Amino acid sequence: MAILATPLRSVATSSKTRPVLSWQESLRRAIRDPVQLCRSLQLPPKYEQAAAQASELFGVFVPREYLDRIKIGDEKDPLLRQVLPIAEEAEIGKGFSLDPVGDADALTAPGLLHKYHSRVLLIATGACAVHCRYCFRRHFPYDQMPRGLEDWKPAIEQIKEDTAIEEVILSGGDPLMLTDQRLAELVACLDPIKHVKRLRIHTRLPIMIPSRVTDALISLLSNRHRMPVVVVHINHPAEIDVPVSMALSRLVESGILVLNQSVLLRGVNDSAEVLSTLSKRLVDLRVMPYYLHQLDRTLGTSHFEVPVKIGISIIEQMRSRLPGYAIPRFVQEKRGKLSKQVLA
Ligand SMILES: *Cc1c(COP(=O)(O)O)cnc(C)c1O
Ligand code: SF4
């Protein structure tokens, strides 16, 4: 307890001086106490009560590796805004609901979301290495999702029978919260299914805790028989520090296609300048900007919403500054549609 009570900033001031821990140890040491989050960043005391209250609905979870990238004492820090519970989360925005994109209707087997042709999404776990305050699956019924291999049988059976499914997406939560061994077991269930040509992972773990990119993970993914795609989630260029860029480079260098998706968030990345800087950093790392998502209208997130027309104008400004391949597609998910809707 004494260790937890020591402000870590007084010991280590940047990720360069923090010893590299195993990713599981990093998870254990992550900040889960809203008051501790406020104090370790020296925020004004008024934030503490609001954070404690808002975290009753959706808890705080911030790895220290991410905390290191937040400026001390800066209430407006774009990385802080993504993880700090604030009073606005109690607002009931018009049109905001528990399941805005119809995920519940798309569950065709336990843990299996089948919305789009040729690809399915598996909710590999409900856990994440961070609790993003704007998360569209904040209210998802994760406790009803599969846990062991036995629970996955109906989903695997469905994938086996539907030869139109060419791609399996592991999502969650964050699929990289599973140990390499559990991940390997799940992926092995797909091995006999020859029509599945691509394996995609949607993850924020390489950004939150870059030591998650282990050798075992890389060899698991760079399987010659199945094209591996990793879609990471970075919203702001300040999320990319040296360990993150090294983790991304290791993925890229092992032949994995690495893409990035961001969510357009008020006060985080709602400017052409921030998103252009992000795109340039990504391209330099050979990570391709894939999607910029319009916020899904999930209850408790209305303060993050940016009007669609501002998003379109941001993309237009980016287009006038950057090569075409550095421009993410600005998309919105609409209930019942056959793909994400391209806005710009
Ligand atoms: C976003 C999403 C996908 C992937 O869509 P792409 O456009 O291929 O990236 C697949 N399934 C579900 C349920 C999704 O929400
Ligand atoms: S990592 Fe993704 S699923 Fe997890 S809290 Fe953040 S946005 Fe939600």
Q: What is the pLDDT of residues 172-214, one digit of tens each?
A: 999 999 999 999 999 999 999 999 999 999 999 999 999 999 9
Find the 116 Cα to ligand 1 centroid distance in Å: 7
Question: What's CA 241's distance to the chain center, in Å?
Answer: 17
C-alpha dist (Å) from residue 96 to 136, 226, 292, 299: 11, 39, 20, 5
Q: Which of 107, 114, 117, 119 to mutate to test the pocket of ligand 1 (most atoms within 8 A of CB)?
A: 119
Average pLDDT, the chain: 93
What is the Å distance from ligand 2's center to 247 Cα?
19
Give residues (CB < 6 A) around ligand 2: 128, 130-132, 135, 137, 172-174, 204, 233
Distance from the alpha carbon of residue 338 to the mean position of ligand 1, in angstroms: 10
Q: Residue 204 in contact with residue 232, Cβ under 8 Å?
A: yes
* Nearest atom (ligand 2) to Cα of 138: 8
The Cα–Cα gap between 253 and 2 comes to: 41
Element (H, E) at 274: helix 272-284
Q: Give the pLDDT band (50/70/90) at residue 17.
A: low
Using one digit for the tens of pLDDT, what is the confidence trace for 227-253?
999 999 999 999 999 999 999 999 999
Q: Residues lining ligand 1, CB < 6 A? A: 106, 113, 115-116, 119, 121, 169, 339-340
Distance between CA atoms of residues 147 and 125, nearest Å: 7
Supply the pTM of this predicted model: 0.94
Cβ contacts of 277 within 8 Å, gap of 6 or more: 237
Choice from 84, 128, 177, 263 to test ligand 2 binding pocket (greatest atom count within 8 A of CB): 128
Architecture of domain 103-342: Alpha-Beta Barrel (3.20)
Return the pLDDT at 104: 84
Place of tokens 């049988």: 153
Are the C-beta atoms of 75 and 115 separated by less than 8 Å?
Answer: no
Name the amino acid, one letter, at 73. G
Probe residue for ligand 2, chosen from 204, 208, 293, 296 as the CB with the greatest number of ligand atoms within 8 Å? 204
Query: Could you give the residue range(s) of every CATH 3.20.20.70 domain in the chain?
Result: 103-342
Please give the pLDDT value at position 16.
54
* pLDDT tens readout for residues 64-90: 999 999 999 999 999 999 999 999 999
